[in-house]
Amino acid sequence: MKKTISILAASAAFTSAMAAGDTLSVASMRHFGPVPVYAPCQLDTTDVNGKKFETQMLHESAISLGLVKEGKEWSGVEAPGADTTALHLMGCTISNSDYFTGSLNLTKSPKHAVVYLDGKKQAPGALTLNPGTHELVVQYFSTPREADSLQINLSSDSAAHVPATALRVGDIAAKEGKMYTIEQLVKASSYSGYTLSPNGKWMLLSYFDKSMGNDGQWLYYLVDRTTGAKSQLSGWASWMPKSNRFYVTRNVRGDRQLVTIDPATRAEEVWAHNLPEGSFQMFPTEDRLLFTIPQEGPKELNPDAFELIHPDDRQPGWRNRQKYAVYDRSTGLLQPITFGYSSHYVSSISNDGKKLLVTKREDRLTARPTTLSSVFVLDLATLTTDTLVSRDGFVSGGTFSPDDKTVLLQGSPEAFNRIGCTLPDSVTPNMYDYQLYTIDIASKKVNPITRDFNPSITGYDWSAADGKIYFTAEDKDLVSLFQYDPKTAKFTKLEQPEEVVSGFNLAAAANVISFAGESNDHSWRLYTMDLSKKKPVITQMGDINAELYAGVSVDPCESWTCTNSIGDEVCCRFYRPANFDPAKKYPMIVYYYGGCSPTSRYFEYTYPQQIWAANGYAVLVVNPSGASGFGQEWGSRHVNTAGVDPARDIIECTKQFCKEHEWVNADRLGCIGASYGGFMTQYLQTVTDIFRCAVSHAGISDHSNYWGYGYWGYSYSEVSMANSYPWTRKDLYVEESPLYNVDKVKSSMLFLHGTDDTNVPYNNSVQMYTALRLLGQDVAFVSIEGENHGIRDPRKRILWHNATMAWFARCLKDDPTWWNALYPKKTL
């Protein structure tokens, strides 16, 4: 027996009527038309395939289905007609937060009616709807003197867990706004480049347009910052360092040219002919180019019998290096300036064009840190070096100050013999809790400028316009934009409209900055900030996914803190389920990373909490002990704890949240994490029974296996297991590994893993799955073919996401319909 209802216009009466009975007549939809159409001039009686003309062929007339939204409300059963043969559209919106299975039928319909669901033809009969907002459109013809009627019925399967009455149809669905879905997320683009001209009046904008999914393309624009007007460029371009002109390279009959272009007039000038091949950057003095020249490393005599000469030799291209050369415009000479087998890179060119800041790296496998960095200033006139940092494994690259007398460096708290560390010598800080240091070139004096500054540095630059340092930093669960004044040693958090700033660019000769950012309830937007005013003036320059997310309704998250058992406040946030009703009880998904970095308030995120909420779940996000961005002491808890501290925080926060929020069903809790968070998911199931189900993506089940086999296993373990090894700390590598505690797992578990994962070996999920099967536990494993640590292919991302949501529906909503549709039971 099927329960049947009819699609009605949304009204308050519609919802109550649906709850009261099984069948409802169509009350109203939206109608667009009539649009007159005509039979073609028949030059022959048949077409090339021998077919005679039939009226239904007029459906080939091009008309946008989206026009139905501009239509008028229609009531009744009689379908609108016209005085001539005409095309009509009739449509409505359907929204469902759960997977729906049933059928769609036209019990009454005009002749030649064609049904479309989300822009694709939908044959009457069996119907499945993934959670989301769907557009149903019926396209039909009317002919003079013929009366037609239209009625559409949705029926749910007799065994379906989601009845047709749970669907929201018509204006009710439209008023709620479109649901945020994975199909939108995989098509979302993000800004790649937004560099300012030296005077700050122009911007070069670039991004990869993913609106067509796999068929994306790079787009490049020149933008007038004052008017917002933009014009498309044919390819990549970059600004001259001082002149307010941009340059491109062209190949003209074998002559590789560098051409400069005036952004206002588009007047062109050839700056150089016959450029060497390769990538380069322009010197600030605009007279030379710094070329990066790749070098292939030694090959094996027999590649079928490959000798590993280093643990990292498994990584493609590890043996390759690069060297540098300077191209002189006046002579056309390409002069090599670096030589050697050590890996090295140039991070900055001095503003006078006379020096380079070079970082050289060398391996030392027998002690932590296993990679050492030396930073030196290379004098281009004499090709001699002045060493600033010698073999310090906690320092990365930097940049020259505007006067070339100081260098700004990024490093961990242990850099420079812990001069920037606030912790006792007995405590090892989180290596990913990045700090900023300045070093005076003449005296070599180091100043740890962020020593007592809690946020963790993610990007930085030194402004020549005002002499101040600008940087982005993980600021608890935000990524914020900051300014530091070297004269006053004052930090200022710049007020800007987004919760997460992805990066920024400074104009070379104007006090203007550009940046891109997003917040937990909307996608990436582009801004410029004029810092020359007493109060900085912010101008929005773009909203890259505005069309993609038009009409999407997302409720913002709410901040929440929990005091754990040792007296710390743990930073959390939560998302209410869509169409929230405080009188209901909702299942909840708990998300965390649990590793060395916080979970920031991204909108477009690999693990999209907002989509989970749209599917009817409460969502709790926990930033437990060990994350950077909360200060050095908090971050140090990531080291040599093997998950104990983060797990405590996640468990205690989850329990406390359920106590404080009666609308959460504490018996319907699920959790999910990836990478270190995948380990955390597995580990949690061995120490608590509060989660009914769990999802582990690319998780570590055996610390020793990950340490020795993952591409970055041993080097990441320098962070998480500092100075601890499988043979010295079996209490960490064995006793705290989920595999050796698997018999304590009682929750239903789903493992997801890319078959080509080079970071966390694929077998870490395989062995946990195998163990749980042998123990007779409820477990599943979805293998993502050909994918690495992250799932990048848009089609596979959708499959991966749907598997996750189907598993939660199966375990937290007692609805296995979606899971069984994706993975039918096999009798093997």
Local confidence band at 8 (pLDDT 50, 70, 90 cut-offs):
very low
Distance of alpha carbon 396 from alpha carbon 399, whole angstroms: 11
Check whether 199 has a pLDDT greater than 80: yes
In the chain, what percentage of residues exceed pLDDT 90? 82
Place of tokens 């150089």: 272
What average pLDDT does this structure show over 185-205? 97
Place of tokens 């600004």: 239
Check whether 335 has a pLDDT greater than 80: yes
Distance of alpha carbon 436 from alpha carbon 412, whole angstroms: 8
Distance of alpha carbon 4 from alpha carbon 24, whole angstroms: 8
Note the pLDDT tens digit of each residue in 57-97. Answer: 776 776 889 999 999 998 777 889 988 888 999 998 889 99
Cβ burial of 795 (10 Å; 0-12, 13-18, 19+) is: exposed
Contact 671, 589 (CB under 8 A): yes
Provide the pairing of β-strand 125-129 with 100-108. Answer: antiparallel
**Phi, psi (5° rounding) for residue 24?**
-135, 140
Note the pLDDT tens digit of each residue in 225-277. Answer: 999 999 999 999 999 999 999 999 999 999 999 999 999 999 999 999 999 99
The C-alpha R_g of the chain, in whole angstroms, comes to 31
What average pLDDT does this structure show over 305-317? 95
Check whether 22 has a pLDDT greater than 60: no
What average pLDDT does this structure show over 101-122? 89
> Which of 259, 241, 257, 260 has its CA nearest to residue 195?
241
Other beta carbons within 10 angstroms of residue 691's beta carbon come to 26
Confidence (pLDDT) at 27:
61
Distance of alpha carbon 599 from alpha carbon 607, whole angstroms: 10
DSSP 178: B
Helix (H) or strand (E) holding 708: helix 703-709
Confidence (pLDDT) at 4:
37
Distance of alpha carbon 63 from alpha carbon 48, whole angstroms: 25
Confidence (pLDDT) at 212:
62
Note the pLDDT tens digit of each residue in 492-539. Answer: 999 999 999 999 999 999 999 999 999 999 999 999 999 998 899 999
Token output for 608 = 């999209």
Local confidence band at 418 (pLDDT 50, 70, 90 cut-offs):
very high
640: left (phi over 0), alpha (psi -120 to 50) or beta: left
Provide the pairing of β-strand 664-674 with 693-697. Answer: parallel
Q: Look over the chain and give the mean of its residue pLDDT values, rounded to a whole number.
A: 93
Note the pLDDT tens digit of each residue in 420-472. Answer: 999 999 999 999 999 999 999 999 999 999 999 999 999 999 999 999 999 99
Place of tokens 């812990």: 418
Contact 609, 601 (CB under 8 A): no
Check whether 23 has a pLDDT greater than 80: no
Confidence (pLDDT) at 577:
97
Beta strands in 130-245 (DSSP E): 132-142, 148-149, 151-156, 168-169, 191-196, 202-209, 217-224, 230-233, 238-239
Local confidence band at 213 (pLDDT 50, 70, 90 cut-offs):
low
Note the pLDDT tens digit of each residue in 734-775. Answer: 999 999 999 999 999 999 999 999 999 999 999 999 999 999
Helix (H) or strand (E) holding 639: none
Local confidence band at 214 (pLDDT 50, 70, 90 cut-offs):
low
Place of tokens 């797990």: 647
- Can you spell out the DSSP letters for 457-482? EEEEEE-TTTS-EEEEEEETTEEEEE
Confidence (pLDDT) at 14:
32
